[in-house]
Structure 1
């Protein structure tokens, strides 16, 4: 149990955040299948990204992670190999389409909870595209991809309503398939569309032709993947607890190097915090947020930015007016069932919360201290520390889970209160 630091007054801080996990892992994978070496500058060094580096190294690439800038040199993709997915959805879903290009068998497994997260959409799609996948019909870890050195590719129909990563996984490797890929989604709206937009933009930067002009359809032409040296943006979703600190204490927090244009879902924090009464300004120094006298609740659809839901829910629990967060049924399949987990943990601290199939309703109520469980989910830990900044006596169970995307988060966070 980790005692969450409490603020005794408005917090004033300027912070520099580690790089984006989403961008780092996409960059590493694209570099590993490119036609020459690439450099990933300011790569995030965290559990998720080191697992990705290890997976690609096991398949034959060389990923030098010794410095701040990581060099990736492609190699002949081969098996046998084993991929440890840990708790990284990007490893579990993005690496199998590359493993299908390897010559040999590649096995996949991860932490116990990962065996409950859906990956069947990717595995079924790979079978339809000509790959040999064995998961004993589970659609989940553990599974094996038996590569023959090539994948025929072509058209595939899938339901990506549970995760946008199903689409991104196929787009990232599609140019290496003999006929490319024509991915068509059939189902409820795809969540977290900004992540697919990020994938499309990064694939194009490698010189790959990709057509996303039709709704729910993405066509990747077969062809070379050019090497690219890129600099990773700060992780804007990881900015949520820091900007929330300004919101709940009436202070001012600036996040340095906030990009003017980005495909990261975390950029939606600017709109959300403004709706909650904060002053939000994007300038040369970064994104500056100043908290209000009274934090306002919101009625907001978070479908495209579900990863922000835990932090936003924590803010809503501290707001002076009611809130309704909707469109996030898919976050039940993230590191944990985040809707139920948030309702359970916030209620345990006194919050007035109602759980719905696709979201949460929160009404103003006095909060008190207590234990906040994280369910091995870094975003749940973010929610806990936000509440803890405003409510004395909050104990965070397993704050170390934040290492998934932010090394030494606890130490970094504590320093802001000194």
Structure 2
């Protein structure tokens, strides 16, 4: 597990004095925003991105694309209907330097883009980014014709020597540590001379909804994609070479970032409404409706949005989270407050996320008096009476929101470095206080 950073600021997590009743406008999806930026940068014509998320990860993506010559103008949409970014594609070029921070989407989605640039692009980032696997993208790009200098590490820092084009073709990868390896190749594939055929060879593929999101967004901008779901071979994706269209895209609310607010209704026996919840979506966070209902709540999709109501009771759950691993920290926090044990399975890959999330959740919940044990692929949580204390975040935004969920029910919880939530959920402390009427 990553060493605890030397942050000194502690945020007293608000304790709920009664049921929470609130409407919370959740900012746009990071996953959609960053995919849309990449596709717009590779398009044959300008496009609009409405209601984009402005967070550390998305601003890093925008800055990286600008460094490679893409025009991104921030303002309002063509009809004056709110914030929008106009993305103006141009000839990708180097030399450029990309700061990935600790954003998986930036460090994995942009090396294929850099291979299409005319010139060298250097990638660097936070210390933790050096520990996150990148070999799936690096090795695949080499097979497809790219030249990359990484000193044989399979991780950052590294330099991609772009030549203005990439052959593409067939490649086998093991994406069992991150579905982003697949998405990274698919997003740029229409610009490869031969397109791409990606074959996953390895263990179970995590976070399949994110791959489906990538495919859905590629088709929206005119790409031809064959997938296992559309009658193709299992674990094989094919993208045909061709021009991408500039589109006018509105970004959905980030449903995974809605998790702490829905959890607040569940934990306090209240009711929280999230406006603009889509009826159909590829976002993994949509599964919260099912999971939190099994844990004791109820929900209804109305004209106002998703209305989630807690019953005053929280039940344990035995659930496979392999497709929605990013929801694990929040579910673990709720499970620690339940009336029966929980087993969270299928998430061994979380050991390679922003931090080792399984080790971090075990340590932090147990230090508040909990009883959490790691399993080979997840966590087993036996509810105990919890007490206050410092909840460390390890520079992981989802650790911070998990601690805030526990703080609703347990007085005296202090979150170390709550500012890390700016990675995907800007102004989280203010949104949290507003939900509680503070």
Once the two structures are TM-superposed, the CA of residue 65 in structure 1 deviates from its matched residue by 2.4
Is residue 25 from structure 1 mapped to residue 44 from structure 2 by the alignment?
no
Structural mapping, 1:212-251, within 5 Å: 212=227, 213-251=232-270
- State the alpha-carbon separation in 1 of the partners of residues 274 and 142 from structure 2: 44
2:89 to 66, 70, 74: 74
Q: What is the CA-CA distance between 1:166 and the residue it aligns to?
A: 0.1
- SS of 1:76 mapped into structure 2: coil
Mapping for residues 17-166 of structure 1, pairs under 5 Å: 17-67=26-76, 68-166=83-181
Aligned counterpart, 1:335: 354
Measured in 2, the distance between the counterparts of 1:394 and 1:234 equals 28
Q: Give CA-to-partner distance per residue, 1:298-347, whole Å, 9 cap, x none.
A: 00000000000000000000000110001000111110000000000000
Is 2:397 the partner of 1:382?
Answer: no
Aligned mate of 1:270, from 284, 289, 299: 289
Counterpart Cα distance in 2 of 1:271 and 1:215: 27
For residues 312 and 426 of structure 2, the distance between their equivalents in structure 1, rounded to whole angstroms, comes to: 32
1:188 is matched with: 203
CA deviation vs aligned residue, 1:26-75 (integer Å, no higher than 9, x gap): 00000001001000000000110010001111111101124410000001
In structure 1, C-alpha distance between the alignment counterparts of 2:366 and 2:383, rounded to whole Å: 12
Q: Hey, what's the Cα distance between the residues in 2 that align with 1:64 and 1:51?
A: 15
**Superposition CA RMSD, Å:** 0.7
- Per the TM alignment, residue 356 of structure 1 is displaced from its structure 2 partner at its CA by 1.1
Partner of 1:363: 382
CA distance in structure 2 between the partners assigned to 1:415 and 1:264 by the alignment: 25
TM-score normalised to the size of structure 2?
0.95
Q: Write the distance in 1 (CA, Å) between the matches of 2:258 and 2:175.
A: 27
Q: Distance in 1 between matches of 2:401 and 2:389?
A: 16
After superposition, the C-alpha distances for 1:194-231 in whole angstroms (9 at most, x for unaligned) are 00000000001111111002210000001111111100
Residue 84 of structure 1 and its aligned partner are, at CA, apart by: 0.3
- One of 301, 308, 314 as aligned partner of 2:320: 301
1:171 aligns with 2:190: no
Quick one: distance in 2 between partners of 1:365 and 1:103? 58
SS of 2:258's equivalent in the other structure is helix
Alpha carbons 2:189, 2:195 under 8 Å: kept: yes
Give SS of 1:238's match. coil
**Which secondary structure does the structure 2 equivalent of 1:303 belong to?**
coil
Q: Secondary structure at the match of 1:17?
A: coil
Structure 2 partner of 1:288: 307
Q: Distance in 2 between matches of 1:34 and 1:293?
A: 50
Query: For 1:4, which of 10, 13, 27 is the aligned residue?
Result: 13
- Preserved CA contact (<8 Å) 2:24 2:435: no
Q: CA deviation at 1:160?
A: 0.2
Question: When the two structures are aligned, how many residues end up with a matched partner?
Answer: 418
Contact 2:267–2:312 (8 Å) recurs in 1: no
**Could you list the per-position Cα deviations for residues 338-359 of structure 1 after superposition, in whole angstroms to 9, with x for gaps in the alignment?**
0000000000001111111210
Following superposition, which runs of at least 4 residues in structure 1 exceed 3 angstroms of deviation?
Answer: none
TM-score by length of structure 1 reads 0.99
Secondary structure of the equivalent of 1:282? strand
Query: Any unmatched runs of 5+ in structure 1?
Result: none
Equivalent-residue separation in structure 1 for 2:268 and 2:221 (angstroms): 44
